[in-house]
């Protein structure tokens, strides 16, 4: 049996960072296991190619939620990245740190050592953002850019938001998040910049790092109260490897709890119901699932050329030529062009909703199929939802997806926030700066007036925007899965490092927070080893 100091399960965002940092000294022998392959598709490097990857089984696990009453019995797609780089290969590239208060709330809830002052240096450590001021990082592995493309209708949206009272904010990742402006994205000169690009690819030649792809981990190996290694399947064979120091589970908020349960770690009754021997009772595994729920409001527009037309026929040919010649144009765009972080109630201290404006409208939002006529969309999401769901296995088969139950819009606070957010989005569009462009509101439409109408629209049409967290929550209470150093409670030799450890949602897209968690975790792991 091969043995390594550390075995990292998962080659996604956190896994790439851990592989880089844990091998930097040259002394630790590290194995990374990834179920997918290397990022070889041309659509990965082209930012607009994310729409081609949302249903691509080679780079996407293509999970789905269970049907739930709160969302009218719909099954909702939950894309998760597959391959070295994980979800940073297929996401919309939007980079948001969140608010300082998010992390102070972690600390105040018991996650001591994870307050804003503790985590802020790690954001600066990972960032390479030339445009940023002194509060931003400038020489980290992750290349960041502000969206470069400007369009008259996007500038008009910014003007309309200012007319509605929002301040212009050129850097929502600096001291204040509230306001309107252009998004920051994980790109380098018009090309997607993934965790693979920033962290893993530069260190693949290190002799103490072994990366094994197409390796589907089946279970953790446990001896008493210690995790000793993992068993994975590759090319039809089951292979077991040993971890002399630790196994680091970095499979993400969906698959980390799944793998714990497949290994006999979790709620005894659930494990026994699936015929899995209980190796370690831990009731919080798979609980505390939180995600961002988003509605998309669409308008038919005039006096503007939108992505709907720019991505068709001869215009698409010009866009392709422009991209390959200068790395500019519409192919550099991801899911967000203009941001707005808003307060749904004036008495709030900070923004509680986020808008994603893009000059496009979708015939099928889940699959990013564009309309043929000119349109624009505002994606509307609540920043810190209170609705909490679960992720648990529904089969002892490691190749079967888990049961994902988000429980969206189950909390009255979330219902009110979503309704108020959509009303604010409509109010912005009605401002003078956009009157020359708007023909009609297509979705939800002018007939939507009452709070009940708005809520019904959200339940019928809302989707996840792919930010699952919390299912292996850190903390010191009985419901926590890992301690404040991300070690599994009651089990030696096992740590979890990914979005699943976050105790509460952060205010915005989560990839920046995942990177921060991994950077900080690498320091914790090395500190513990030095002891």
Map tokens 């190996």 to a residue.
Answer: 221
Q: Residue 372: what pLDDT?
A: 86
Could you write out the DSSP letters of every residue in 360-394? --EEETTTTEEPSS-EEEEEEEESS----BEEE-S
Strand pairing category for 30-33 and 209-212: parallel
From 238, 228, 284, select the one nearest 261 (Cα to Cα). 284
Could you write out the DSSP letters of every residue in 136-198? S-BSSSEE-EE-----HHHHHHHHHHHHTTPPB-S-TTSS---EEEEPEESEETTEE--HIII
Active site residues: 467
User: How would you class 58 by CB atoms within 10 Å of its CB: exposed for 0-12, middle for 13-18, buried for 19 or more?
Assistant: exposed
Q: How many CB atoms sit inside 10 A of residue 118's CB? A: 16
Map tokens 């002194």 to a residue.
Answer: 134
Q: How many CB atoms sit inside 10 A of residue 525's CB? A: 23
Q: Residue 202: what pLDDT?
A: 98
Which residues touch 288 (CB under 8 Å, ≥6 apart)? Answer: 388, 470, 471, 473, 479, 503
The C-alpha atoms of residue 440 and residue 448 are separated, in whole angstroms, by: 13
What are the structure tokens assigned to 118, written together? 């503790």
Are 107 and 114 contacting, i.e. CB atoms less than 8 angstroms apart?
Answer: yes
Q: Residue 103: what pLDDT?
A: 98
The C-alpha atoms of residue 465 and residue 79 are separated, in whole angstroms, by: 9
The C-alpha atoms of residue 390 and residue 472 are separated, in whole angstroms, by: 11
CATH topology (fold) of 1-108+189-290+388-408+469-531: FAD/NAD(P)-binding domain (3.50.50)
The C-alpha atoms of residue 357 and residue 437 are separated, in whole angstroms, by: 14
Q: Residue 318: what pLDDT?
A: 87
Are 29 and 208 contacting, i.e. CB atoms less than 8 angstroms apart?
Answer: yes
Which residues of the chain form CATH 3.30.410.40? Answer: 148-182+293-384+409-461
From 294, 453, 449, select the one nearest 365 (Cα to Cα). 294
The C-alpha atoms of residue 79 and residue 59 are separated, in whole angstroms, by: 9
Helix (H) or strand (E) holding 232: strand 226-234
pLDDT in tens, the chain (531 residues): 899 999 999 999 999 999 999 999 999 999 999 999 999 999 999 999 988 888 899 999 999 999 999 999 999 999 999 999 999 999 999 999 999 999 999 999 999 999 999 999 999 999 999 999 999 999 999 999 999 999 999 999 999 999 999 999 999 999 999 999 999 999 999 999 999 999 999 999 999 999 999 999 999 999 999 999 999 999 999 999 999 999 999 999 999 999 999 999 999 999 999 999 999 999 999 999 999 999 999 999 999 999 898 887 778 888 888 988 889 988 999 989 999 999 999 999 999 999 999 999 976 655 667 888 999 999 999 999 999 999 999 999 999 999 999 999 999 999 999 999 999 999 999 999 999 999 999 999 999 999 999 999 999 999 999 999 999 999 999 999 999 999 999 999 999 999 999 999 999 999 999 999 999 999 999 999 998
Are 243 and 5 contacting, i.e. CB atoms less than 8 angstroms apart?
Answer: yes
∠ CA 185-190-192, nearest 5°, is: 60
Strand pairing category for 237-249 and 494-496: parallel
425 in helix, strand or coil? helix
From 301, 423, 416, select the one nearest 348 (Cα to Cα). 416
Measured CA to CA in angstroms, residue 236 lies from 233, 289, 323, 482 at distances of 6, 33, 41, 33
Q: List the end-to-end C-alpha distance of the chain, in Å, as a whole number.
A: 27
Which residues touch 12 (CB under 8 Å, ≥6 apart)? Answer: 34, 81, 85, 86, 87, 88, 195, 250, 251, 252, 498
Map tokens 């019928």 to a residue.
Answer: 460
Q: Residue 366: what pLDDT?
A: 58
From 215, 217, 212, select the one nearest 398 (Cα to Cα). 217
CATH topology (fold) of 148-182+293-384+409-461: Cholesterol Oxidase; domain 2 (3.30.410)
The C-alpha atoms of residue 172 and residue 174 are separated, in whole angstroms, by: 5
Which stretches within 404-492 are classed as H helix? 412-429, 451-461
69 in helix, strand or coil? helix
From 530, 498, 524, 518, select the one nearest 198 (Cα to Cα). 518
Map tokens 């050592």 to a residue.
Answer: 113
- The pTM assigned to this predicted structure is 0.97
Measured CA to CA in angstroms, residue 39 lies from 71, 84, 122, 146 at distances of 34, 6, 26, 24
Q: How many CB atoms sit inside 10 A of residue 199's CB? A: 27
Which stretches within 293-356 are classed as H helix? 307-310, 313-326
Measured CA to CA in angstroms, residue 507 lies from 129, 178, 512 at distances of 20, 11, 11
Which residues of the chain form CATH 3.50.50.60? Answer: 1-108+189-290+388-408+469-531
How far out from the chain centre does Cα 351 lie? 19
Which residues touch 419 (CB under 8 Å, ≥6 apart)? Answer: 451, 454, 455, 458
What are the structure tokens assigned to 409, written together? 């819009």
DSSP 172: T
The C-alpha atoms of residue 83 and residue 525 are separated, in whole angstroms, by: 24
Which residues touch 435 (CB under 8 Å, ≥6 apart)? Answer: none
């Amino acid at each position: 049996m091969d043995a390594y100091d550390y075995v990292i399960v998962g080659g996604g965002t956190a896994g790439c960072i851990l592989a880089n940092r844990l091998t930097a000294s040259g002394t630790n022998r590290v194995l990374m296991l990834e179920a997918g392959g290397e990022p070889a598709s041309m659509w990965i490097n082209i930012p607009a190619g994310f729409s081609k990857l949302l249903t691509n089984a080679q780079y996407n696990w293509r999970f789905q939620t269970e049907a739930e009453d709160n969302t009218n019995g719909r099954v909702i797609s939950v894309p998760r990245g597959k391959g070295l780089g994980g979800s940073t290969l297929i996401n919309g590239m939007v980079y948001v740190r969140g608010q300082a208060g998010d992390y102070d709330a972690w600390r105040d809830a018991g996650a001591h050592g994870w307050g804003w002052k503790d985590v802020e240096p790690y954001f600066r450590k990972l960032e390479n953002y030339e445009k940023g001021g002194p509060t931003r990082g400038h020489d980290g592995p992750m290349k960041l850019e502000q969206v470069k493309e400007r369009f008259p209708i996007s500038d008009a949206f910014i003007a309309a938001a200012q007319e509605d009272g929002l301040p212009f904010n050129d850097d929502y990742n600096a001291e204040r998040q509230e306001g309107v402006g252009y998004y920051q994205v994980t790109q380098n000169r018009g090309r997607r910049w993934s965790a693979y690009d920033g962290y893993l690819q530069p260190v693949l030649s290190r002799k103490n790092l072994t990366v094994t792809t197409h390796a589907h981990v089946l279970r953790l190996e446990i001896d008493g109260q210690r995790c000793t290694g993992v068993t994975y399947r590759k090319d039809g064979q089951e292979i077991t490897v040993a971890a002399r120091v630790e196994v680091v589970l970095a499979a993400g908020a969906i698959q980390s709890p799944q793998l714990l349960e497949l290994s006999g770690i979790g709620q005894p009754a659930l494990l026994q119901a699936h015929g899995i021997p209980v190796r370690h009772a831990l009731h919080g595994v798979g609980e505390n699932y939180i995600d961002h729920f988003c509605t998309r409001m669409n308008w038919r527009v005039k006096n503007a050329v939108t992505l709907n037309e720019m991505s068709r026929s001869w215009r698409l040919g010009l866009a392709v030529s422009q991209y390959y010649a200068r790395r500019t144009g519409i192919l550099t765009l991801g899911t967000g062009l203009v941001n707005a972080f808003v307060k749904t109630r004036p008495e709030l201290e900070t923004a509680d909703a986020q808008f994603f404006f893009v000059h496009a409208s979708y015939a099928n939002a889940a699959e990013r199929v564009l309309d043929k006529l000119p349109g624009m969309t505002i994606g509307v999401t609540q920043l810190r939802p209170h609705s909490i769901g679960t992720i648990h296995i529904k089969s002892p088969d490691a190749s079967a997806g888990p049961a994902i139950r988000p429980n969206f819009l189950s909390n009255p606070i979330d219902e009110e926030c979503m309704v108020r957010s959509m009303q604010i989005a409509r109010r912005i569009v009605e401002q003078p700066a956009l009157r020359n462009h708007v023909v009609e509101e297509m979705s939800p439409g002018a007939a939507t007036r009452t709070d009940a109408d708005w809520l019904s629209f959200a339940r019928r049409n809302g989707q996840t925007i792919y930010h699952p967290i919390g299912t292996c929550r850190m903390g010191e209470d009985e419901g926590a899965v890992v301690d404040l150093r991300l070690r599994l409670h009651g089990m030696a030799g096992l740590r979890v490092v990914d979005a699943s450890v976050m105790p509460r949602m952060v205010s915005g897209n989560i990839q920046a927070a995942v990177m921060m968690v991994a950077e900080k975790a690498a320091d914790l792991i090395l500190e513990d080893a030095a002891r």
